[in-house]
Amino acid sequence: MKYSTVLFFVTLCAITISTTSCNNTVTSDNNVTSKPEVVGIPEVAYPLPIVDYISNNCDPIKKRSIEHNPSVYILRGINDIWKGTTDEYQHGSSEHGPGKNDYVTTNPIIDSVIWKENITYVINVTNNRTDDEAILAYLDDVRSKFYSVIDGFGPLTEAYVKNSGAYVDLPEIKKEDVLENTHYQSSYNNNQRYAGSETSPLGAVVKLARSFQNTCSSTNAPKYLYSTPRPWRMNANGEVVFKGTTYDTQLHKPTYLTKDYIGNIEYKIFDIYESNVQVVSGLMASRKNHKYIYDDSHPKPEDLYTNTTQNIRTDNGYPSGHTNAGAIISLAYAYAFPERFQELVFRGSQLGEDRIIAGMHSPVDVIGGKLMALATACAALNQSETSEIAKEARQVTLDFFGAKADSLEMSLQDYAHQKIDTPKEFTNGDMINISVFDNNKYDDKEILKKLYRFRLTYGFTQDTTKSHALPIVPKGAEVILKTRFPYLSDEQRRAVLYTTELPSGYKILDKTNGWGRIDLFTAADGYGAFIDNVTVTMNANLGSFNAYDSWNNPIDGKGKLTKKGTGTLLLTGNNSYTGGTSIEEGTLKTNAETALGTRKTTITNNGILEILTPLKLTTLHVNQQGKISIHYTTKNHYSLEVKEEVVLQNSSLEIIFTKEPSVGDRLPIIKCKNIKGEFNTIINHQFMCHTSITDGILYLVIDSKK
């Protein structure tokens, strides 16, 4: 499935909603000034930081108070948009609200603009979804989240399923039941056993995913405290207009027939509302119903609702529980297998989007579920026991998938991104394919990057008067990047998060102590700015990202980049950092015109600058056996343009031809008005060559074939 919602995303950004969050620019370009040189831990008051007090979300009393539960506290920004419960209730729902109305506020819509943007998105998406989108949304509802998000492994999906023991146990499902049958009663796999076996070859990953979810991740407490309605209970303005129930007062019985896959029939009471939201047909019977009202074998909570009054109290939207579960499990998989970090993180985001496509949740619900998942995952990783499990899980994926990559003589990164020539589909004739399968669904990185960032805010109107606050990196957040950037320090990982965050000025996000502003997809592409000098030491012997990595964001800032160690680092962004670049060991590769910023570049100590596409520099000094390696692509255009001066001393030039030249060719390599010295060695495996300088251009002359 390719994302047809991309068109809607672009249209929404361009026409109906503020474009700020549609821009993929990192925080460094949002006019934030006076940045610190070190990203410190923010000063907070109890119940923060969440990594220290996450257990309060499991405490039977503390979890029901905004004063004690950090998971509730970081979600309190919803009160600036919708405030459905009283202050007394939010400060202790276990002690307040025994009656059906004593916890509710009179006018819950606080920000009518954002609240309408919220429901408008749901209406547009649910009325314009494709069949494949509806089917995936359905599957993400009924399958175990441990299983459903496994397809973020892309071409390795089926290998992961086979070697983890993960499984799905659903009956055969007809396509028409999902897309057309509003009375179909679905079956569900909501249990951790579907994650697989902890004694399987990939059992450590299974254990890590369970450990993440078991770290007090439940969304029940904030759901009850904030009491936002699900989208199918709202009209086009976000108002709740109750129209009755499916209970026949004359016949004294429920009238909404539901039927499961083996033909069992049950009549249920559902609430009816004024709404333009189109719930996926196969999930209509899975909405909250009044089951226990008319069932004499169960107590009747008639103080909360009756057969003819709305059953809304225990069916709240914010934060989305399915989103939270899918996101936190995706984070566990991403941590264990960072070769597909971005794809797996995006898969968690997609499950949240699928809750909207299903008609079961709105954007605010999904935003809350995702940010709570990130905070909880980091809290888990900051616990010593989970940290050890995580370490083992990472080693297991390195060993298991690394061996398979080696057998094919591929790098692990390339192995993890193979293209599947004939991927399966969501349907097989008239039936739904309930299993995850090898796929290319997450292979368009640029689209995913924009979609992921958009979904952090869903394009809600930004308060531009509050858009220049400095980024905040919560205590313990940096741990989530430990396997993605194993060669960076904790302080450096914090800087990566800091310089790739969303700008401020967004309700909900501004009150999360930074959790809601973290953009993990962008952060996985490396720094957005060098706020101070950055030294990177990569040990190629450790393999994976230690041996080779790529930073793909545009990087600004005042800092200097120093490359050390034997590994290779690739820069692909058009960068504007002003501190200069020093290549002291290993290889620094470039694949953008201004990849090395705007100041002096120095290559020493056998360091290598490898230029993949034409590069512009301000000043270049190459000495102490430094080397420039150029992939020469254009016969009549130089590969390196230096504005001020080039100084060559005890240095070498390697030329790698992408198209074979002819003997006698005189190829422009370096353009600079002031070239001092010469290369001591010219390296090419095909030709004998020499260099000459004419009118500020260093030419490579092809003398003869070897």
pLDDT per residue over 631-670, tens digit each?
998 777 899 999 999 999 999 999 999 899 999 999 999 9
Return the minimum-mean-pLDDT range out of 91-105, 479-493, 580-594. Answer: 91-105
For residues 218-224, give the mean pLDDT. 95
Give phi and psi for 184, each to the nearest 5: -75, 125
Return the minimum-mean-pLDDT range out of 61-65, 147-151, 175-179, 508-512. Answer: 61-65
HSE value, Cβ hemisphere, 13 Å, CA-based, for 452: 29
pLDDT at res. 95: 58
Please say if the pLDDT value at position 22 is more than 60. Answer: no
Please say if the pLDDT value at position 99 is more than 80. Answer: no
Is the pTM higher than 0.85? The answer reads yes
For residues 623-634, give the mean pLDDT. 93
For residues 577-586, give the mean pLDDT. 98
pLDDT at res. 312: 85
Please say if the pLDDT value at position 103 is more than 80. Answer: no
For residues 111-121, give the mean pLDDT. 99
Cα 153 to Cα 144, 530, 541: the distances in Å are: 16, 32, 26
pLDDT at res. 584: 98
Please say if the pLDDT value at position 300 is more than 90. Answer: no
Please say if the pLDDT value at position 286 is more than 50. Answer: yes
pLDDT at res. 35: 64
Q: Residue type for 118, please?
A: N
Task: Note the pLDDT tens digit of each residue in 29-48.
Answer: 444 445 677 899 999 999 99
pLDDT at res. 292: 55
For residues 42-66, give the mean pLDDT. 97
Give the count of beta carbons closer than 10 Å to the beta carbon of residue 420: 16
Question: Which residue has 């989305």 as its token pair?
Answer: 320
Please say if the pLDDT value at position 98 is more than 70. Answer: no
More confident site: 34 or 490: 490
pLDDT at res. 306: 84
Cα 8 to Cα 2, 113, 126: the distances in Å are: 13, 20, 11
pLDDT at res. 92: 82
Task: Note the pLDDT tens digit of each residue in 231-255.
Answer: 999 999 999 999 999 999 999 999 9
Instruction: Please report the DSSP string for 206-260 in residue order.
Output: HHHHHHHHTTT---HHHHHHH-PPPGGG--TTS---EEEESEETTTTEE-EEEE-
Phi-psi region of 29 (alpha: psi -120 to 50; beta: other; left: phi over 0): alpha
pLDDT at res. 290: 87
CA distance 167 to 149: 12
pLDDT at res. 94: 64
Task: Note the pLDDT tens digit of each residue in 665-706.
Answer: 999 999 999 999 999 999 999 999 999 999 999 999 999 999
pLDDT at res. 305: 76
For residues 375-393, give the mean pLDDT. 99
Give the count of beta carbons closer than 10 Å to the beta carbon of residue 220: 13
CA distance 96 to 102: 8
Q: How confident is the model at residue 520 (pLDDT cuts 50, 70, 90)?
A: very high
Q: Of 423, 341, 327, which Cα lies nearest the Cα of 371?
A: 327
Q: Residue-wise over 254-282: b if at least 16 C-beta within 10 A, else e?
A: bebebeeeeeeeeebbbbebebbbbbbbb
pLDDT at res. 414: 97
Under 8 Å between Cβ of 475 and 51? yes
Q: Of 596, 601, 592, which Cα lies nearest the Cα of 576?
A: 596
Whole-number average pLDDT of the chain: 93
Q: How confident is the model at residue 569 (pLDDT cuts 50, 70, 90)?
A: very high
More confident site: 250 or 101: 250
Tell me how many degrees the CA angle 580-586-590 measures, rounded to the nearest 5: 55
Q: How confident is the model at residue 104 (pLDDT cuts 50, 70, 90)?
A: confident
For residues 572-581, give the mean pLDDT. 98
Helix residue spans in 262-362 (DSSP H): 321-336, 341-357
Q: Residue type for 185, please?
A: Q
For residues 331-340, give the mean pLDDT. 99
Q: How confident is the model at residue 15 (pLDDT cuts 50, 70, 90)?
A: very low
For residues 362-376, give the mean pLDDT. 99
Q: How confident is the model at residue 11 (pLDDT cuts 50, 70, 90)?
A: very low
Return the minimum-mean-pLDDT range out of 11-15, 191-195, 684-688. Answer: 11-15
Cα 13 to Cα 9, 10, 27: the distances in Å are: 6, 5, 19
Return the minimum-mean-pLDDT range out of 91-105, 145-159, 511-525, 608-622. Answer: 91-105
Return the minimum-mean-pLDDT range out of 96-105, 193-202, 228-237, 634-643. Answer: 96-105
CA distance 62 to 694: 77
Give 418-471 as a 3 state SS string: CCCCCCCCCEECCEECCCCCCCCCCCCHHHHHHHHHHHHHCCCCCCHHHCCCCC
Please say if the pLDDT value at position 202 is more than 60. Answer: yes
